Amino acid sequence: MSRPRKKRRYSQDPDQTKRDFANRKRLRIIYGFLITMVAFVLLGVFFIVLNSTFFITNLYYAFMFNYIGTVFLYLAGMTIMLYFIYASLLTTMKNPQKVSKNQVFAWGVAGIIFLAIAVFIFREIYSLTTNSVGDMKDYLNGVTKVDEFEVVDVYTGDGKSEVALIETEERELTLLLDVFRIEEGKTYRFTYMERTGNILNVEAK
């Protein structure tokens, strides 16, 4: 009677196991960056598009939703920069032996550029948040600016945008909804937020 054969066990190379684990970890990180970026973009577009629908007719709510949407889009840009910074660090510090010296140098320079852009985006987010939140607090406390300005220029881009940039003799203001007819050369009484210059009400003089 023959003896049952013993199954041979093949042990995987420990180095290969480590490499496979590291590759799976990097893949999860990449997916994490991509999913986060897409989520930020979708949220940003959602809030900004709300301003162009008939649901939003109040200029304060338009300001609030526009701020939220803009922050989400900035965060999407920040996520992209962080992904490229991660890729740069991975190439230049973690696995420099797997690529040529020219590629390591190129990724190093690119990493510095991506870092500079990320810092710029962070400063924009910080400035926007500081000014917008400050204006929201003032509005909720009943504090707004009221001034009479002569309009120097009205810029609406391609003419189809709801947003208008109003240049006056004193400062630049922003009208987020096309609910007032403002003409160049005329003087209006503007109710607006001091930090961001977002218009809340317009009265003709």
Question: Which residue did the predictor score with more confidence, 120 or 107?
Answer: 120
Angle (CA) 203-204-205 rounded to 5° is 115
* Average pLDDT rounded to a whole number, residues 77-101: 83
93-110 core/surface letters (b: 16 or more CB in 10 A; e: else):
eeeeeeeeeeebeebeeb
pLDDT for the residue numbered 69: 93
Structure tokens given for 76: 């999407």
* Average pLDDT rounded to a whole number, residues 43-50: 88
CA atoms within 13 A of residue 59's CA, in its CB half-sphere:
22
Q: How far apart are CA 160 and CA 143, in angstroms?
A: 32
β pairing state of 199-204 and 145-155: unpaired
Decide if pLDDT at 22 tops 80: no
Mean pLDDT, the chain, whole residue set: 85
Our measurement of the distance from residue 59's CA atom to the centroid of its chain's CA atoms, rounded to an integer in Å, reads 22
Q: Does the predicted model carry a pTM greater than 0.85?
A: no
Domain boundaries, the chain: 17-140, 145-204
Given CATH 3.40.605.10, say whether it is the number of domain 145-204.
no
Condensed to tens digits (0 to 9), the pLDDT of residues 136-171 reads 999 999 999 999 999 999 888 766 677 889 999 889
pLDDT for the residue numbered 83: 92
Burial of 81 (0-12, 13-18, 19+ CB in 10 A): buried
CB 153 within 8 A of CB 167: yes
Question: Which residue did the predictor score with more confidence, 3 or 153?
Answer: 153
pLDDT for the residue numbered 41: 95
